[in-house]
């Protein structure tokens, strides 16, 4: 008999926590409990990736009727019915939460619909005051949106609320230039909302390949997003006509809604962590080693709570590696190198590896890039452009980075990511026969470098 109530107590029922709990219980027979204060599924399923992608799909239909007419169909676009979509969205999220609960129950994980905090190295306290002990504690509380400290900021929403607005606003201001801001600018614009975006820097999507983010920005503007670079919100007020906003350039505007997409912070407040010796970083992130272990040997942390690479598949891998290390006796580090990802802007951006700028700072490179009008949109009379780009090491010939801006880039980069992760060279790409006619065939047909650096 163990001296503890459980072998593992997981705090947080998001992608990472649920995966770790059910694999530990289901595959190793460990006695596992999990506490979740909100809905099972966490940010990704309930207020992130999943509902976002459904909204991206919904917003994509606005162009389709016009395109179909260009292709000879006799049809007319109708209006978007937010209530009809939202009803279905709620049903789908309920279904998914049910799936997560069932997965946990089916693996024998005991769940508590409660907030939990850490009391000592082996004890957690639930919000009803009960205490549970465990040999290991896994912190998987995720993160939450953060908003700037400016007058009137309380009138704005964040990505938590955007999925459940009572009605679609006529106009919206989206503040920020990261993943969430750019994705929702495209979504809202596509749904027919007059969309303005303020970004404080010189170009959106800081940190990504300059040419790729430049094209995403051009395409967003071309589709109707009123993008203001070098602009931020100074103050806001709720007025009869809507939310009044004063910008840093002195201009004044009124919007139906304002959404801050100004970053996320780890959910580590009031968790009792520092009191028991778990170290936190500057953003409040749990500091862990390569095995996700904190400074307290019995306490581990994964996912956005650790602010390493804040993506669902990464949290899941960190959870799996934790189970391998702690419950299967096979110490496993998570490989955070060459993680492909996609930004679901319109068009999408898929990326793996180094940007041209980062690669050039590291070693001599060749850049292979082509930007063109894709056949499907071009035939429909659209001016849309796409980009296919490879960054190649002059010395090793390895493809150091691949950047795609195109409809479906998320799907394409998953596959290109395998080759790049395997260490494919430019010549390996060239040896691969093109799939014709596709957009991505350009990745294997670019013969001459566009430039060297």
Catalytic residue positions, numbered: 436
- Compute the least distance from the CB of residue 345 to ligand NDP, in Å: 9
**Closest CA relative to residue 446, chosen from 383, 392, 395, 373:** 392
Residue 166 or 207 with smaller CB distance to ligand NDP: 207
Site string for ligand NDP, 301-320 (x = CB under 6 A): ---------xx---------
Does 351 bind ligand NDP (CB under 6 A)? Our answer is no
Angle value at C-alpha 404, between 159 and 396, nearest 5 degrees:
125
Instruction: Work out whether 148 is an interface residue with ligand NDP (CB under 6 A).
Output: yes
Q: Name the residue nearer to ligand NDP (CB basis): 124 or 316.
A: 316
- Considering the complex, what minimum distance in angstroms separates the CB of residue 49 from ligand NDP? 7
Q: How far is the CB of 390 from ligand NDP (least distance, A)?
A: 21
Quick one: which segment of 338-346, 368-376, 384-392, 443-451 binds ligand NDP (CB under 6 A)?
338-346
Among 39, 101, 117, 264, binds ligand NDP (CB under 6 A): 264
Residue 258 or residue 359: which is nearer to ligand NDP going by CB?
258
**Phi and psi based region of residue 87 (left: phi greater than 0; alpha: psi -120 to 50; beta: remaining):** alpha
Question: Is the CB of 55 or the CB of 261 nearer to ligand NDP?
Answer: 261
Kindly state the smallest distance separating residue 79's Cβ from ligand NDP, in Å.
Answer: 28
Residue from 144, 155, 194, 200 binding ligand NDP (CB under 6 A): 200
| Residue 84 C-beta: closest distance to ligand NDP, Å | 25
Q: Segment contacting ligand NDP (CB under 6 A): 178-186, 359-367, 391-399, 440-448?
A: 178-186
Determine the interface stretch with ligand NDP among 9-17, 260-268, 390-398, 399-407 (rule: CB under 6 A): 260-268
Q: Does 179 bind ligand NDP (CB under 6 A)?
A: yes
Torsion region of 388: left, alpha or beta (phi above 0 gives left; psi -120 to 50 gives alpha)? beta
CA distance 298 to 120: 10
Nearer to ligand NDP, 60 or 277 (CB): 60
Work out which of 50, 299, 342, 388 binds ligand NDP, going by CB under 6 A.
342
Q: Quote the least distance from Cβ 435 to ligand NDP, whole Å.
A: 25
Q: Which stretch binds ligand NDP (CB under 6 A): 171-179, 291-299, 385-393, 420-428?
A: 171-179
Residue from 176, 186, 190, 284 touching ligand NDP (CB under 6 A): that is 176
Closer to ligand NDP by Cβ: residue 204 or 276: 204
Q: How far is the CB of 263 from ligand NDP (least distance, A)?
A: 4
Where in 366-425 is the site for ligand NDP (CB under 6 A)? none
- How far apart (Å, rounded) are the C-alpha atoms in residues 426 and 420? 10
Tokens representing 310 are: 């804040």
Q: Given candidates 131, 206, 283, 333, which one binds ligand NDP under the rule CB under 6 A?
A: 206
* 139 in contact with ligand NDP (CB under 6 A): no
Query: What residue is closest to ligand NDP based on CB?
Result: 178
258 touches ligand NDP (CB under 6 A): no
- Using rule CB under 6 A, residue 294 touches ligand NDP: no
Q: Which residues bind ligand NDP (CB under 6 A)?
A: 148, 175-181, 183, 199-201, 206, 232, 261-264, 310-311, 341-344
């Amino acid at each position: 008999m163990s001296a503890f109530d459980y072998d593992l107590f997981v705090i947080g029922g998001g992608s990472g926590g649920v995966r770790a709990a059910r694999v530990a219980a289901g595959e190793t027979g460990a006695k596992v409990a999990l506490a979740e204060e909100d809905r099972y599924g966490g940010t990704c399923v309930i207020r992130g990736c999943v509902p976002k992608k459904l909204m991206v799909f919904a917003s994509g239909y606005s162009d389709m009727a016009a395109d179909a007419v260009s292709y000879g169909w006799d049809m007319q676009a109708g209006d978007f019915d937010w209530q009809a979509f939202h009803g279905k969205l709620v049903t789908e999220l309920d279904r998914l939460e049910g799936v997560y609960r069932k997965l946990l129950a089916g693996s024998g994980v005991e769940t508590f619909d409660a907030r939990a905090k850490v009391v000592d190295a082996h004890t957690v306290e639930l919000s009803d005051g009960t205490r549970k002990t465990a040999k290991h504690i896994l912190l998987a509380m995720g993160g939450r949106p953060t908003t700037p400290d400016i007058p009137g900021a309380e009138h704005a929403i964040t990505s938590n609320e955007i999925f459940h607005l009572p009605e679609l606003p006529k106009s919206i201001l989206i503040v920020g230039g990261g993943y969430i801001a750019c994705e929702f600018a495209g979504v809202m614009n596509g749904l027919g909302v007059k969309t303005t975006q303020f970004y404080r820097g010189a170009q959106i999507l800081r940190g990504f390949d300059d040419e790729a983010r430049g094209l995403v920005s051009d395409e967003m503007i071309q589709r109707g997003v009123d993008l203001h670079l070098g602009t931020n919100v100074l103050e806001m007020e709720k007025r009869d006509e809507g939310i009044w906003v004063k910008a840093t350039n002195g201009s004044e505007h009124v919007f139906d809604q304002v959404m801050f997409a100004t970053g996320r912070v780890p959910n580590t407040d009031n968790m009792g962590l520092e009191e028991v010796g778990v170290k936190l970083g500057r953003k409040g992130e749990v500091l862990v080693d390569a095995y996700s272990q904190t400074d307290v040997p019995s306490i581990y942390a994964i996912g956005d709570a650790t602010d390493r690479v804040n993506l669902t598949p990464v949290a899941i891998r960190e959870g799996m590696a934790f189970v391998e290390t702690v419950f299967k006796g096979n110490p496993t580090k998570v490989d955070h190198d060459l993680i492909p990802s996609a930004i679901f802007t319109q068009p999408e951006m898929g990326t793996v590896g180094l940007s041209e700028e980062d690669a050039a700072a590291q070693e001599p490179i060749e850049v292979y890039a082509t930007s063109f009008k894709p056949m499907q949109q071009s035939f429909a009379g659209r001016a849309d452009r796409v980009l296919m780009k490879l960054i190649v090491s002059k010395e090793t010939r390895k493809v150091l980075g691949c950047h795609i801006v195109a409809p479906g880039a998320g799907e394409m980069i998953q596959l290109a990511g395998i080759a790049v992760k395997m260490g494919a060279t430019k010549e390996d790409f060239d040896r691969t026969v093109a799939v014709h006619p596709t957009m991505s065939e350009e990745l294997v047909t670019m013969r001459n470098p566009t430039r060297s650096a």
